[in-house]
Amino acid sequence: MTSAVKSPYTSEQIAAWLRGLLT
């Protein structure tokens, strides 16, 4: 999740990112 340091994710983007990992 090092990319989060460069790109400030919003709560919606984080939610989509987490769903991508869980699925």
The DSSP code for 7 is S
Helix H or strand E encompassing 19: helix 11-22
pLDDT of residue 10: 81
The yes-or-no verdict on residue 5 having pLDDT over 80 is no
What pLDDT is stored for residue 14 in this prediction?
86
Predicted pLDDT at 19: 92
- Distance separating alpha carbons of residues 1 and 18, to the nearest angstrom: 11
Give the SS3 label for residue 5.
helix
Buried b (16+ CB within 10 A) or exposed e, 7-17: eeeeeeeeeee
Q: Phi/psi at 7 (nearest 5 deg)?
A: -115, 110
Residue 4 has pLDDT above 60, yes or no: no
For 7-23, what is each residue's pLDDT tens digit?
667 888 888 888 998 88
User: What are the tokens at 8?
Assistant: 């400030």
